[in-house]
Amino acid sequence: MNKKGKLLAVPTLVWLSLFFALPLLVMLVVSFYQRGLYGQVVPSFTIDNYLRFFEPLYMSILVETLIVSFITTIGTLLLAYPLAYYISKIPRSRQNIWLILVMVPFWINFLIRSYAWVIILRSQGIINTVLLKIGIIEIPLNLLYNWGSVMLGMIYTLLPFMVLPLYVSLEKLDKQRLEAAYDLGATRLRAFWHITLPLTKPGIIIGSVLVFVSSLGMFVVPDIMGGAKSMLLGNVIQNQFLSARDWPFGSAISMLMIILSALLIALYYKAMQWEDENTRLEGD
């Protein structure tokens, strides 16, 4: 096989150019078009779709989405770090089992995982049924269809995205540096704060970017577990395409979301390189 072997990559590259890159370009173009009377896309240039996004209504949804994404990221980080730390400390053979167990839910879709919570939290759900039976409450609690349930659902569904990058970072951690710190009389807490935490920064960044970007585009969890008031940017976009039938405006919001995601993903790659360099240094 000579250089012709490179041709093996052609189907993939052509396919992804046609059905991944091209659609995004078309979306970019449509975001500068106008909506016709009957919801069709009219090809005449305008930047109104972008200007409209800066109306207070959408700005407040953007702010809410950013806040929810931020809380989700912090929440998953706080839950995932100790878990990833634990996994990195147990013997190899058990590490694999734990990783698979944490990984499996990643493949079950958001819809079904948030639906599982609906069964537990709804007014005829399991928690309310139990509490009513015991007699602690007399009328069912409103556990579902509020911001709290949306946050719970987001943290629940996005958790696997955080655990794995953290584990990878913790796994690569140079144990000698920790031992040196202990030899010099550092307490466990100090050693964690001054060595483990800074050295696992790449994992923290990678996990945070993955969770934050996924929360930005989330519409299933608010749709299933949130009430009419808990709308995120993803739901607004979805509405523009399905009920409002304003594709150009929906495309404009999508483009803004892509730009934001791309910026964050750039940060992710920086963190990846950083991690590679860190390990290479330690390997020398």
Site for other proteins in 73-132 (CB under 8 A): 79, 82-83, 85-87, 89, 95-96, 98-105, 107-113, 115-120, 122, 124-126, 128-129
Return the residue of 261, 267, 270, 282 that touches other proteins, per CB under 8 A: 261
Three-class SS of residue 140? coil
Cβ distance to other proteins smaller for residue 44 or 56: 44
Q: Taking CB under 8 A as the criterion, which residues in 211-230 touch other proteins?
A: 213-214, 216-220, 224
Give the separation between CA 128 and CA 131, rounded to whole angstroms. Answer: 5
Token readout for 248 is 């150009």
- Would you give the distance in Å from CA 75 to the centre of its chain? 12
Least distance from other proteins to the Cβ atom of residue 231, Å: 14
Cβ distance to other proteins smaller for residue 53 or 161: 161
Segment holding 95, helix H or strand E: helix 92-103
Token readout for 235 is 């739901």
Q: Taking CB under 8 A as the criterion, which residues in 147-206 touch other proteins?
A: 156, 159, 161, 164-165, 167-168, 188, 206
How many secondary structure helices (H) and strands (E) does the chain include?
A: 15, 2
Cβ distance to other proteins smaller for residue 56 or 242: 242
Q: Taking CB under 8 A as the criterion, which residues in 13-72 touch other proteins?
A: 13, 15-17, 19-24, 26-27, 30, 41
Contact in structure between 162 and 80 (CB atoms under 8 Å): yes
In this structure, which amino acid lies at residue 123? S
Cβ distance to other proteins smaller for residue 57 or 90: 90
Least distance from other proteins to the Cβ atom of residue 167, Å: 7
- Please report the sign of the dihedral spanned by the C-alpha atoms of residue 83, residue 85, residue 88, residue 89: negative
Token readout for 267 is 């940060």
Cβ distance to other proteins smaller for residue 72 or 251: 251
Contact in structure between 167 and 246 (CB atoms under 8 Å): no
Binding segment (CB under 8 A) for other proteins, from list 45-53, 54-62, 177-185, 253-261: 253-261
